[in-house]
Chain A
């Protein structure tokens, strides 16, 4: 037998809490959710790894690439088929999947998982290419 110290207030706050806590469920039920539809828009036939692997593991792969390049100076990746790629988000990944909005953002915005990669890494479509290409291409 539960004794409620302050019945009215407790029930009011409890109902508010439950309402807020279950918000993701009833909000989506009302709004109706659409499945995200990423557009691959690739220039190559095959990705670094298979579609199934990439679907579940692309973040893991990107984290490994990040630490490998920055901390271990290990810049090449040999995939399960023996093909070698350069470990680069902008260069390799976005080199093929050239439309970030239609590819990355379509799923990430639906799942509300904020990408902070592009705070630093460049989306080649947005960043203007440096007109002083000459400076660092000289060699």
Chain B
């Protein structure tokens, strides 16, 4: 009798416990789902806001037909020749202030040691001095575009060129800090004081804005190739549409091994150096 009572009590208690347990679980599960839903919405919205520009532009650029890129063959580049640099800088009114502090450059020469130190073997001397043309890489996910607070620099969706709007630039130089390649220059001085002659068919810039190579966007609008490409007598620079498998640049890149600067940083450069 007593045993039965005890068993009965235990049963009732067990039932009570399990019921309240279930209730608790129900309540906490409800809470959990509520919190989870709110959290997911916030997280998605938050990350969406943050990655709005990069993602949208990346999607667009991969969907579109054109993605301009360059393939540079350092072996063809002649020692002492600066035709690409001169033609670009003269046509675009890039100033020369004759000092490193105020230097403005869109395209210049480095060597393999500087751009690809990991590729240089201490035991193979010949290739260490090959000139490597350096310019803005017009990256897939450019960090400079991501940090610009005014969208004075942005990645064009129709062809992937990273553009500059000198009217909007506030000269904060955040893009210069963000660019891992050192491709950008700032006008610390009035650029016109560093120009002996001005090409009147292209504007200069003004003091206090950042500038860089624009893949000759004004020429591409006329279906012409960039100046560095056409002025290289050795044809060391090939320019073309990376999205077109039939293009000359794609065929070169499929035939020969190539490398890009600092790929591990995830920027996705569009400038390839043929090995």
Contact = CB atoms under 8 A, between A and B. Distances in A.
Q: Do A and B originate from a single complex?
A: yes
A70 B218 CA distance: 9
Nearest to A135: B87
A131 B167 CA distance: 28
Contacts of A66: 167
B203 interface: yes
B211 to A, nearest CB: 11
A3 interface: no
B109 interface: no
A75 B119 CA distance: 44
Contacts of B227: 135-136
Contact of A136 (B91, B154, B203, B204): B91
B210 to A, nearest CB: 14
Interface in A41-55: none
Nearest to A74: B221
A21 interface: no
Interface stretch (B52-60, B71-79, B176-184, B193-201): B193-201
How many A residues touch the partner, as a band?
A: 20 to 34
In this complex, the member of A75, A116, A139 whose beta carbon has the largest number of chain B beta carbons within 10 angstroms is A139
B158 interface: yes
A121 B203 CA distance: 5
B190 to A, nearest CB: 9
B86 interface: yes
A135 B231 contact: yes
Contacts of B156: 73
Contacts of A139: 224, 230
Given A120-B206, A122-B204, A138-B231, A130 B197 contact: yes
A7 interface: no
Interface residues of B, number: 29
Interface in B185-216: 197-207
B198 A127 contact: yes
B201 A91 contact: yes
A8 interface: no
| Majority DSSP secondary structure for residues of A touching B | loop
A70 B165 contact: yes
Interface in B142-181: 154, 156, 158, 163, 165-167
Contacts of B167: 66, 70
Contacts of A129: 197, 199-200
A132 interface: yes
A110 to B, nearest CB: 24
B227 to A, nearest CB: 6
Contacts of B87: 132, 135-136
A127 B205 contact: no
Interface string A46-87: 000000000000000000001000110101000000000000
Given A66-B167, A71-B163, A129-B199, 12 more contacts: A71-B165, A73-B217, A90-B201, A119-B206, A121-B203, A122-B203, A130-B90, A130-B197, A135-B86, A135-B90, A136-B91, A139-B230
18 contacts: A71-B163, A71-B165, A73-B158, A90-B203, A91-B201, A116-B206, A120-B166, A120-B203, A122-B200, A122-B202, A127-B198, A128-B197, A129-B199, A135-B86, A135-B227, A135-B231, A136-B91, A136-B199
Interface of A: 66, 70-71, 73, 75, 90-91, 116, 119-122, 124, 127-132, 135-136, 138-139
